[in-house]
Structure 1
Amino acid sequence: MPPELAALIDNPLLLAAVLAVGAICGVAIERLAENIEKQRRREYWRGRGHGGKSQPTPWRRNTGLPVPTEKAAPRTAAAADQLRCVMEAEFTERALLNKSEAAVFKTLDAAVIARNPGWQVMAQVSLGEFLASTDSDAFAAVNSKRVDFALMDEHAHVRHALEYQGTGHHLPGGAAAARDAVKKEALRKAGIGYHEVVAGHTTPAELKRLVERLVPGGPETAIGAQSQ
Structure 2
Amino acid sequence: MVAIIVFLVIVGVWELSRKRPKRRHTHRSNLGSFRPGAKIAARPQVATAQLDTVMRAAFQARPLMSRAEASVFYTAERAIKRLDIKGRVMAQVSLGEILRSPDDEAFRAINSKRVDILVISQTGWPLAAVEYQGEAHYQGTAYARDAVKKAALQRAGIAYLEVTPQHSAEDIERDLARVLQGHMAPA
Same fold (TM over 0.5): yes
- Tell me if structure 1 keeps the 8 A contact 2:132–2:164: yes
Distance 2:69 2:172 in 1: 13
Match of 2:172 among 186, 193, 207: 207
Give the Cα–Cα distance (whole angstroms) in 1 for the partners of residues 85 and 157 of structure 2. Answer: 23
1:135 corresponding residue in structure 2: 103
Q: Structure 1 pair 57/215, CA: closer, same or farther in 2 (3 Å)?
A: closer
Stretch moving more, 208-217 or 102-111: 208-217
> Is 2:153 the partner of 1:187?
yes
Deviations 1:81-134 (A, max 9, x none): 211111111112121111111111111110111212522111110001110112
Structure 1 residues 74, 185: closer, same or farther in 2, change over 3 A?
A: farther
What CA distance in whole angstroms lies between the structure 1 residues aligned with 2:55 and 2:179? 45
Shift of 1:192: 0.9
Q: Give yes or no for contact 2:161–2:176 (8 Å, CA) kept in 1.
A: no
- The within-5 A match list for 1:83-122 is 83-122=51-90
Give yes or no for contact 2:96–2:107 (8 Å, CA) kept in 1. yes
1:19-168 equivalences in 2 (<5 Å): 57-58=23-24, 75-168=43-136
How many angstroms apart in 1 are the aligned matches of 2:85 and 2:143? 33
Say which structure is richer in helix.
1
Could you tell me how far 1:162 is from its partner in structure 2?
0.8
CA contact (8 A) 1:118 1:154 kept: yes
What SS does structure 2 have at the residue aligned with 1:147? strand
For the residues of structure 1 that align with 2:65 and 2:108, how far apart are their CA atoms?
25
Give the distance between the partners of 2:135 and 2:77, measured in 1 at CA: 22
Aligned 8 A contact 1:115 1:216 in 2 = no
The number of residue pairs the alignment matches comes to 148
Q: For residues 215 and 185 of structure 1, do their structure 2 counterparts lie closer, same or farther at Cα, with a shift above 3 Å needed?
A: closer
TM-superposed CA distance for 1:78, in Å, is 2.4
Opposite residue 189 of structure 1, the aligned amino acid is R
Bigger Rg, structure 1 or 2: 1
Identity of aligned residues (%): 43
List alignment gaps of at least 5 residues for structure 1. 1-54, 60-71, 218-228
Q: CA RMSD in A?
A: 2.3
What residue identity is the alignment partner of 1:89? Answer: A
Secondary structure in structure 2 of the residue aligned to 1:155: coil
- Alignment CA distance shift 1:119-1:216 (3 Å): farther
Unaligned runs of 5+ residues in structure 2 are 1-20, 26-39, 183-187
Structure 1 stretches (4+) deviating beyond 4 angstroms?
A: none
